Amino acid sequence: MLLQVRQLTKSFDDKTILRGVDLDLAEGQLKVIMGPSGCGKSTLLRCLNRLIEPSSGQVIFRGKDVLQPGTDVRALRQQIGFVFQQFALYRHLSALHNVTLALRKLRGMSVREAHAKAMHELGRMNMAEHADQYPAQLSGGQKQRVAIARALAMDPAVLFFDEPTSALDPLMSREVVSVIKQLQLDNVTMLCVTHDPFLAKSIADRVMFLDEGVVRAEGTVAEIFGAHADPRIRDFFAHEHSAA
């Protein structure tokens, strides 16, 4: 198992957000996390790479509890690629340069090496022909694909996505869904938070439903999206579909 989360809790001051989350992610697996707004999905992802310090529990990544003192947090974060809703590209840098930057700075690659690696990853995202364009010249879907190429370029053990399609119109989100599907075929391990039923249905092996800081259900897409026995889960999907 690549990642095992055990009884993870997080409180901000006196407000408890995560109340004992368990999660397993195997190599090559893609798991989707869904749940109502404010239930703690982003907090959970950020706890796993310690952008937020959890209050208690275990996060066992490649066999080691990374919440233990002495953990190299920088090294941990390099192994976890993170793709956000807002693409967070540098506006003054071309697509190519956005991808090479971390390779040069964090991995100490030469210009030539970083260029070759970046072009490879942009190619995987069908973005090679746009390598010299600046973010302002790219569509939202193209920007998101550059952000994914940038994350992949670091050769992470796992990719986290936090609502990768929610800033995109349906057509652009389809482009992003299709590249995520491609990564799935390439056996990239992924954990994806989303509200987007199309994304979840297109990609997920397993869906975890988080509610009020606990895992309320976990199952296949059909099990979670179907007529679920839990009324809160049924309500969530009824509402999501009517809002879409």
Residue 49 in contact with ligand ATP, rule: CB under 6 A: no
Residue 165 in contact with ligand ATP, rule: CB under 6 A: no
Work out which of 21, 23, 25, 42 binds Mg ion, going by CB under 5 A.
42
Binding string, residues 1-40; x marks residues near ligand ATP by CB under 6 A? -----------x----x-------------------xxxx
Residue 117 in contact with ligand ATP, rule: CB under 6 A: no
Work out which of 3, 21, 23, 42 binds ligand ATP, going by CB under 6 A.
42
Identity of the residue, 50 or 120, whose beta carbon is nearer to ligand ATP in the bound complex: 50
Q: Which residues contact 126 (CB under 8 A, 6 or more apart)?
A: 145, 179
Residue 243 in contact with ligand ATP, rule: CB under 6 A: no
Number of residues that bind Mg ion (CB under 5 A): 1
Q: Which two tokens stand for residue 220?
A: 């296949």
CA distance 84 to 163: 6
- 43 contacts which partner out of ligand ATP, Mg ion, none, CB within 5 to 8 A by kind? ligand ATP
- 200 contacts which partner out of ligand ATP, Mg ion, none, CB within 5 to 8 A by kind? none
Closest CA to 208 of 221, 199, 198, 190: 221
For the bound state, the minimum distance from the C-beta of residue 239 to ligand ATP, rounded and expressed in Å, comes to 13
Identity of the residue, 42 or 100, whose beta carbon is nearer to Mg ion in the bound complex: 42
Identity of the residue, 43 or 94, whose beta carbon is nearer to Mg ion in the bound complex: 43
Chain contacts with Mg ion (rule: CB under 5 A): 42
Chain contacts with ligand ATP (rule: CB under 6 A): 12, 17, 37-43
